[in-house]
Structure 1
Amino acid sequence: MKRLLIAAGGGGDAITAAMVHAALHGPDTPALVLTYAWERLVVDPVPGPRGAADFTGAPTPAPSLTLITPQTTPNAPAGSLLPRLAAHLRPALGLLDPYDGTLGLTRQIEAAARWCAADRIELVDVGGDIVARGDEPTLRSPLGDALALAACAATGIPTSVYVAGPGLDNEVPLSDLVPRLGEPAFALTPEDTDGVLAVFDWHPSEAGAMLVAAARGVRGICGTRDAPRPVVLDDTARQVHRLTCEEALRLSPLAGALDLCPSLEAAEKASTAVCGFSEIARERHRAATAPASSPRGRPSTDAATLLARFTTWERSRLAEGLDYVTTRRITEDLALTRPETRTLYRALGEGTPPRRVAPLWRLAKA
């Protein structure tokens, strides 16, 4: 028997699912996490999620069930971090393929439950957009979560919905989430993060990184990339809330609109009707209008030069009131190449005191 967990969104939710599993059942209890291959354009330049046909070397131990292993590869030009994630997480990974809508996802989840001999499902979301109303001005990516919620409900298998780190994804304001979620069920501890901490040396999930940091005792204001406001890391940020599937459905108009949805195209239309937008259409627009990268000159591998650039940038972030920043924020704000990234982070980690407060970076006040 394996525990069956569903990561409601992308890679960050798969990492969070591994932590929630460790907290609930212990890290060594066998488990399968079903997750989307739906990643940022910086990872996967093809808009939208990837389906089973987009991978080579993905085992299918049962009809409608596709596993992702370290040997699985995405078919170019698509990209995916899931195979690398499969090599680092203790739970096994399976693919959620949304191209046949809620109906297809329901078949996949039912197949996984049979394969795992699981009599219940644990659906995990970091941040809380799984209970979005749909009209929040900062809402960006509700579709995957709503599809997963609607599909779990359609299976008829008892499902618990876990929302970890409310507000960390900067999509639904914490003040809106608190009355919807009720009291926390438990809080993540440093021990719950041990199996995932090293993942953030390369994985870009900012919400997941902040959840890990909060669980490990980091407190302060953290700046992320492309977010309307910084995130407060306090004791709330490590809490996990539990809802029944029925409670979550009542809170999510989009999930309710996706009942019996037969395709991803139909799901997009439902998202536009309920939320006023389709996140996949937004991805298509960004991919089509992204400026061609222009060479910035020869990358510098001189640590002193890179540290000087970082220090100038750091002063501006301190003026914003930030205490910490994510790896992705530094890398993208400074437009670092891979060699520059390695050199700068090595220098920051070896400084006195070291800036690395895994998996975040501390800004040094004068």
Structure 2
Amino acid sequence: MTRLIVAAGGGGDAVAAAMLDAALYGADQHPTVILTYAWDRLLIDPVPGPRGPDDFTGLEQITPVVWAVPAGARPVAPAGSMLPRLASELPYTFALIDPRHGVEGLTRQLEELVRHFSPVSIDLLDVGGDILARGDEPTLKSPLADAVTLAACCQVNASIRLLVAGPGLDGELPLDDDLQGVLGPLVHNFTADDVEPVGSVLEWHPSEVTGMLAATARGVRGVCEVRDAGLPVALTDVGPTVHEVDLDEALSRNRLARSILETASLNDVEAHSREVCGYSEIDSERSKAARLLERSATELDPVATLSTALSRLDAFESLARSRGVTHTTFRRLTEALGLNGSQRARLRQLLISRRPEQYAAPLWRIP
């Protein structure tokens, strides 16, 4: 008997799914399969968009159209992925969402998993709540993955529970009366103990929203600045909560999800995203990847660049304080200090070694 958790967005939702499973189901001994995208954004993967099975070696077939990513799998260069390392450190089967055939393809993957495992429960988990976006919100940046998983789950002949963890933490939907009015019953309130099963993963995984979810579960409160644009996100008592949301109501709100119900390719999904939301986030990744490639061709020695970035840290923190910021992520620091994604881990290690009192795991505290 197996449980199935569908991670609605990118790799961070897969880590949150492991937290959720341990918190809600840890004592029942049912094995859990986490169905997730391999979409680690340009900080880890220089190739825009999500990865499919052809982008890996060493996958293990579960059904004719579903593959697991074990610890021994490897992304095919130049692609990158956190999933093999995640599989090596957490006791879960990570099944790969293949987005190439749109919502129709993911619906088939879900149906095959249901037939294969006959799961005792199926949860669709989104961290932040952007799965509830209408599509025209000015702060919405990454609606595509959530819309695809929502549209597919609504078409599967099985009981699926939609859970939203950390409402508002992704900074894409404000935690206003509209969003709060959609949230259903409180299912769980994450605590520091719930973070422990994924604590080691959070030391290296780059997900900002799951990092903030874990930080709020550990009691961190304040304002966290995220992403290259420096978006402020409030860390409040709502941060570690998990709410159930009616699946049909979510679909009725999400215009993009409704528009892509019959799509048969990722290109079709992107076309609808441009029409409904005014953009495709993969287009944004393509543009950013081109800029990063141009910059890397003329980049200075990495050690010299890191040293130069450290000299700008105090100035960054001073400006952040003036904006009311109390915490930030290492992704934000990496980009704000002019470093590339490959230098994030080195920057983090260096900062923690020099100023350990500012490490509010897994965030950086602005003193």
TM-score greater than 0.5 by the shorter chain: yes
What are the residue-to-residue correspondences of 1:93-112 with 2, within 5 Å? 93-112=94-113
Which residue is 1:55 aligned to?
56
Please report how far the alpha carbon of residue 338 of structure 1 lies from its aligned counterpart in structure 2 after TM superposition. Answer: 8.9
Please report how far the alpha carbon of residue 136 of structure 1 lies from its aligned counterpart in structure 2 after TM superposition. Answer: 0.3
Write the distance in 2 (CA, Å) between the matches of 1:282 and 1:326: 21
Which residue is 1:311 aligned to?
314
What are the residue-to-residue correspondences of 1:1-366 with 2, within 5 Å? 1-26=1-26, 29-175=30-176, 176-227=178-229, 229-290=231-292, 291-293=294-296, 294-297=298-301, 299-300=303-304, 308-336=311-339, 345-346=348-349, 348-350=351-353, 354-364=357-367
Write the distance in 1 (CA, Å) between the matches of 2:54 and 2:341: 30
Contact 2:41 2:49 in 1 (8 A): no
Instruction: Select between 179-188 and 77-86 the one with higher mean Cα deviation.
Output: 179-188
Write the distance in 2 (CA, Å) between the matches of 1:74 and 1:121: 28
Q: Per the alignment, in what secondary structure is the counterpart of residue 154 of structure 1?
A: coil
Please report how far the alpha carbon of residue 345 of structure 1 lies from its aligned counterpart in structure 2 after TM superposition. Answer: 4.0
| 1:6-43 CA distance string (max 9 Å, x none) | 00011011111111212221176410000011221232
Write the distance in 1 (CA, Å) between the matches of 2:82 and 2:249: 32
Q: Per the alignment, in what secondary structure is the counterpart of residue 237 of structure 1?
A: coil
Please report how far the alpha carbon of residue 347 of structure 1 lies from its aligned counterpart in structure 2 after TM superposition. Answer: 5.3
Please report how far the alpha carbon of residue 142 of structure 1 lies from its aligned counterpart in structure 2 after TM superposition. Answer: 0.9
Structure 2 regions of 5+ residues with no counterpart?
Answer: none
Amino acid aligned to 2:22? A
Write the distance in 2 (CA, Å) between the matches of 1:320 and 1:68: 42
Amino acid aligned to 1:295? E
Do the aligned partners of residues 80 and 338 (structure 1) sit closer, same or farther apart at CA in structure 2, a change above 3 Å counting?
closer
Contact 1:170 1:228 in 2 (8 A): no
Write the distance in 2 (CA, Å) between the matches of 1:217 and 1:29: 30
**Alignment length (residue pairs):** 363
Amino acid aligned to 2:13? D
TM-score normalised to structure 2 length: 0.91
Contact 2:326 2:366 in 1 (8 A): yes
| 1:62-118 CA distance string (max 9 Å, x none) | 211200011111111211111111112232201000111111101111222233320
| 1:245-298 CA distance string (max 9 Å, x none) | 222212212111122221111111222222222222222232234442233356
Instruction: Select between 340-349 and 253-262 the one with higher mean Cα deviation.
Output: 340-349
Contact 2:228 2:335 in 1 (8 A): no
Please report how far the alpha carbon of residue 2 of structure 1 lies from its aligned counterpart in structure 2 after TM superposition. Answer: 1.5
Do the aligned partners of residues 9 and 301 (structure 1) sit closer, same or farther apart at CA in structure 2, a change above 3 Å counting?
closer
Q: Per the alignment, in what secondary structure is the counterpart of residue 194 of structure 1?
A: helix
Do the aligned partners of residues 347 and 101 (structure 1) sit closer, same or farther apart at CA in structure 2, a change above 3 Å counting?
closer
Contact 2:43 2:341 in 1 (8 A): no
Q: Per the alignment, in what secondary structure is the counterpart of residue 255 of structure 1?
A: helix
Structure 1 regions of 5+ residues with no counterpart?
Answer: none
Write the distance in 1 (CA, Å) between the matches of 2:82 and 2:284: 21
Amino acid aligned to 1:7? A
TM-score normalised to structure 1 length: 0.91
Write the distance in 1 (CA, Å) between the matches of 2:19 and 2:339: 30
